Structure 1
Amino acid sequence: MKNSAKREPSWYAEKCLGHAYGATVKADVSPAVAKTIGDTTYQFNMRGSGTGADSLQSFLLPNANTATIIGPQTGNLYGLEYDPVAGVIWAVSDTFQLGQLNKTTGVFTSSITITGTAAGFNPTGLTFQTAASPWYLSTSDGTNSNLYTVNPATGVATLVGAMGIPLAIDVAINASGAMYTHDISTDSIYSVNTATGVATLVGATGVNANFAQGMEFDKTTGVLYAWLYEGAGVNRFATIDLTTGTATTVASPLAGEYEGATTPVSLQSFSVD
């Protein structure tokens, strides 16, 4: 199947991958064990079956394999970002609804509809440096990707520019305002010019990714994390090398298809036993 920005359909694994939907086919291949863990990180699993399906979860960074299920949310959320000042998880749904995820129940409540995006494009990512700085939205139709700014009060999206890549599945911005995206058509990481939208190749992740998935900076340490989804529930939580684009698996969450949002982290290190 051609790469898709949408959630994996329930029939895909059985018809295209040769095993039952819901099967877990990948063991945890994490090369390192976290001895010091960080603060809470949130991930939303939009996959429709299996343990933790359609739920908001939390874990202490980077141990996504130990996530606690908070509660159900049956809609599809294609972009998450966390506002540490207000303590709010913002999200955008597949129908361009912008709203908040309740950190206690997992319920998504829409506050406004995003308008002004090109017809036929799906939302793929949401990011901001701080809630007081510009909010950015990425969209794709599977052939082209666009970057917008979004006014969270009115929902109006303003085109920044075409990204020049087929399928930017998410965008993430660090504490200094540098933006990156993951294109699942080329399975590569790109830096993004926030003034023009143009994406510049960094390098290949080394992971054959497909369908909706997320990435997010730890804005304290500057580490870029990605929830990489391969299909049939197979996924990994990885760090991204900003020089080469290479993804290094640090944990394997429950079978699922994740978007995520990190909170500021004070303590974190990776070391092998």
Structure 2
Amino acid sequence: MKHVLAGTLAILATPALAMAQALDCKSFADNPGVVPGALAQQCQAGIPAIRTPLAKAIADETGTFAYGIQLASVAGFAEQGFYRLFLDDVGTPEPVNVEPGFANIYAMDFNPAATRLYGIQYLPGDSPHRVILIDTQTGKQVTEGFMNTFQNFVPRDQITGLTIDPRTGDAYVTSVNVLTNNPQLTEARLWRVNLHTMTPTAIANLLPDEPRVIFIDLAMDCDGNLFGHNISDDSLYRINPGDGTTQRIGGHGQDANFAQGMDFNNQDGKLYAALHTANGNSTFGRFNTETGSFEAMGATAAGQWELAFPNTCAPKVLDADALTGAWYAPYTSGQGFTARYFPASGDVFMPWFTAAIAQPDDGDDDDEEDVPNHLRWYVLFGQLEPGEDATELELAITQATDGSFDTPQAAPSQVVGHARLQMISCSQGVLEYDFDEGHNEGVSGRVAMTRLIPQGTPCTDYDGQVKPATGAYDPALTGSWYDPEAPGQGLELFRIARNEDAGVNGMLYGAWFTFAPEDAEDTGPLRQRWFTLDGQSVEENGDIKTTIVYTLGGTFDDEPAVGALSYGTATIKAEACNRLKFSYDFSDTAIVGEWRDRSGEITLYRLGPCPAQGD
């Protein structure tokens, strides 16, 4: 498994990171697209470092339009459906999808990376609310494999607003419960919601001493300030997301009716809204968040509009040390990244474990077993100069193919695309990717990165506040590991030791990048395979035992995995600061397929220098 994860993993063998062994400059020279300049100079090959920008723009970041849903199917209103609302001509919405199905979506917002648009739809009667995804290119509602209903939600409460913290990804909703209609008495509640497990947590009743309260929508700015629009008194409020306490900012002077939409445009920091008043009149404009007043910008088409802007907050300065860790996009759970920063050279090494764009067809319609060749992995590489105040990092996307599991067979690698990384906060990032023609179908897009495991070092956040580390990683095992005898494969490890006296539960997480066994029948087009390692138990001799986990299903930057299976166990033993033994033992059951009853032991070497004593 040479240089952890790809034949390109030699890319990290800069002078400061190289092992005490001779560099194979000829093989590096045969792969000119994947060698950083420092290594090229060391080998006297004159190969330039990769600093190529993305070939094309990935997403609209101008803040010139919002997405809108016209909710009501009423004669004289704009046709019910999904639209773009341009700020310079809000009276002429551009339809994206006007097919039926957009009723009762009273809450909508983007995730921090602006890659996924969430909606919450109220289903009348005894049916619960459901969370949907909306494809902004087609306006289609994506519910297959995702459609979920809120658990333990107050049955009579109707959700009226949703906002997702544009820095952290925390989601908040408001709801209204009509107690009586004559006279109309209502109560409003604020909830924190996990959009992926559909579990809400009640925070507080809003304005609990008022007899009639209807907070119709929420919005949060890039500084974490939460605002709510109460149509009972037509006022804008500031809300504490921690305890639900409110502060009235001021009235806006409009006679707002039901179904109002508002959202921050993260490009200009302004709070925009579409206010629905009598007879279907809809006025588009901006709230003044200091006074609560409303500045009309023009009338939209008649209707009831919900709004969301497709842009992100300004990126923060990259905190290179804090990049080290594991990351994932919650909406594609089962896929993700590991990242590691090498401060001596400034190298950033970021393996990406994912899946094919579509599940391969094995030709058997009755066979529901997972097809093993759907897995894909890439290695991203870039450089951050030590001390550089950069807000984005250019990365080369490389791929190794056609290797064989635990055999001394080289896996050829090449650059297959480019990417750009920005961090929105210490826990959220955005990776823009652009694959070259002929690789991964040449797709471009954006993937959200949410921190998966504890933060190993302090991190300076967007507001200048330093967030302390949330976990102390064991330096003996945490690192990137490779086997010089099996080029193009490797192991990423992160371990927190268990300490009962200190109340530390401990954790081990690993990602194992490899290939199909040499004798595998269903090898697929690239032979790529990967596993994760989950959990730890400490043997009497100090060895660490963990579970080998195989991920089922999922598609590239889209559908989440459908599950995971235990395929066996692995044992890890640290022999020196730069060397460990990795033993694997796959189960002797049919379900593990090509891996059945395989076992062996590999000596792995640390990529980069040993941790300093005391680290």
Q: Which amino acid aligns with 1:235?
A: S
| Residue number in structure 2 paired with 1:239 | 286
- Using a 3 Å threshold, how does the CA distance of structure 1 residues 63 and 84 change in structure 2: closer, same or farther? farther
Contact 2:112 2:165 (8 Å CA) reproduced:
no
What is the TM-score of this pair, normalised by structure 2?
A: 0.36
Indicate whether 1:128 and 2:164 are aligned. yes
Indicate whether 1:222 and 2:255 are aligned. no
Secondary structure of 1:232's match? helix
| Residue number in structure 1 paired with 2:64 | 39
1:185 Cα deviation from its structure 2 partner: 0.8
Secondary structure of 1:144's match? strand
Contact 1:169 1:182 (8 Å CA) reproduced:
yes
| Residue number in structure 1 paired with 2:95 | 69
1:168 Cα deviation from its structure 2 partner: 0.1
Secondary structure of 1:47's match? coil
Contact 1:62 1:251 (8 Å CA) reproduced:
no
Contact 1:46 1:77 (8 Å CA) reproduced:
yes
Unpaired runs of 5+ in structure 2?
1-61, 124-128, 179-185, 314-615
Residue correspondences, number:
230
| Residue number in structure 2 paired with 1:91 | 119
| Residue number in structure 1 paired with 2:57 | none
1:213 Cα deviation from its structure 2 partner: 1.3
1:51 Cα deviation from its structure 2 partner: 5.3
Contact 2:68 2:83 (8 Å CA) reproduced:
yes
Q: Which amino acid aligns with 1:154?
A: T
1:58 Cα deviation from its structure 2 partner: 0.2
| Residue number in structure 1 paired with 2:232 | 185
With 84-93 and 194-203 compared, the bigger mean Cα shift is at 84-93
Indicate whether 1:162 and 2:162 are aligned. no
Secondary structure of 2:256's match? coil
| Residue number in structure 2 paired with 1:10 | none
What is the distance in 2 between the residues matched to 1:254 and 1:169? 20
1:220 Cα deviation from its structure 2 partner: 2.6
Percent identity between the aligned chains?
Answer: 25
Indicate whether 1:79 and 2:79 are aligned. no
1:251 Cα deviation from its structure 2 partner: 2.0
1:59 Cα deviation from its structure 2 partner: 2.6
- Using a 3 Å threshold, how does the CA distance of structure 1 residues 241 and 185 change in structure 2: closer, same or farther? same
Contact 2:114 2:312 (8 Å CA) reproduced:
no
Match of 1:199 among 223, 242, 246: 246
1:102 Cα deviation from its structure 2 partner: 2.0
| Residue number in structure 1 paired with 2:84 | 58
What is the distance in 2 between the residues matched to 1:63 and 1:191? 29
Find the structure with the greater CA-based Rg.
Answer: 2
What is the distance in 2 between the residues matched to 1:246 and 1:51? 26
Task: Please give the per-residue CA displacement for 1:137-194, whole angstroms capped at 9, x wherever unaligned.
Answer: 1101241111101111110000111111600000000011100011111111100000
Contact 2:166 2:220 (8 Å CA) reproduced:
no
- Using a 3 Å threshold, how does the CA distance of structure 1 residues 188 and 62 change in structure 2: closer, same or farther? farther
Contact 2:63 2:265 (8 Å CA) reproduced:
no
1:125 Cα deviation from its structure 2 partner: 0.5
Contact 1:83 1:131 (8 Å CA) reproduced:
no
Q: Which amino acid aligns with 2:256?
A: A
Indicate whether 1:137 and 2:162 are aligned. no
Secondary structure of 2:91's match? helix
Task: Please give the per-residue CA displacement for 1:6-34, whole angstroms capped at 9, x wherever unaligned.
Answer: xxxxxxxxxxxxxxxxxxxxxxxxxxxxx
Unpaired runs of 5+ in structure 1?
1-36, 267-273
1:132 Cα deviation from its structure 2 partner: 4.6
What is the TM-score of this pair, normalised by structure 1?
A: 0.78
| Residue number in structure 2 paired with 1:23 | none
Contact 1:44 1:56 (8 Å CA) reproduced:
yes
Secondary structure of 2:106's match? strand
What is the distance in 2 between the residues matched to 1:174 and 1:215? 12
Give the RMSD, CA atoms, in angstroms: 2.0
1:105 Cα deviation from its structure 2 partner: 2.8
Secondary structure of 1:141's match? strand
What is the distance in 1 between the residues matched to 2:215 and 2:150? 18
1:249 Cα deviation from its structure 2 partner: 0.5
| Residue number in structure 1 paired with 2:193 | 150
Contact 2:236 2:248 (8 Å CA) reproduced:
yes
What is the distance in 1 between the residues matched to 2:223 and 2:114? 20
Q: Which amino acid aligns with 2:90?
A: A
- Using a 3 Å threshold, how does the CA distance of structure 1 residues 243 and 86 change in structure 2: closer, same or farther? closer
Q: Which amino acid aligns with 1:109?
A: V
What is the distance in 1 between the residues matched to 2:241 and 2:312? 25
Indicate whether 1:106 and 2:135 are aligned. no
1:131 Cα deviation from its structure 2 partner: 7.6
- Using a 3 Å threshold, how does the CA distance of structure 1 residues 265 and 156 change in structure 2: closer, same or farther? closer
Secondary structure of 2:262's match? strand
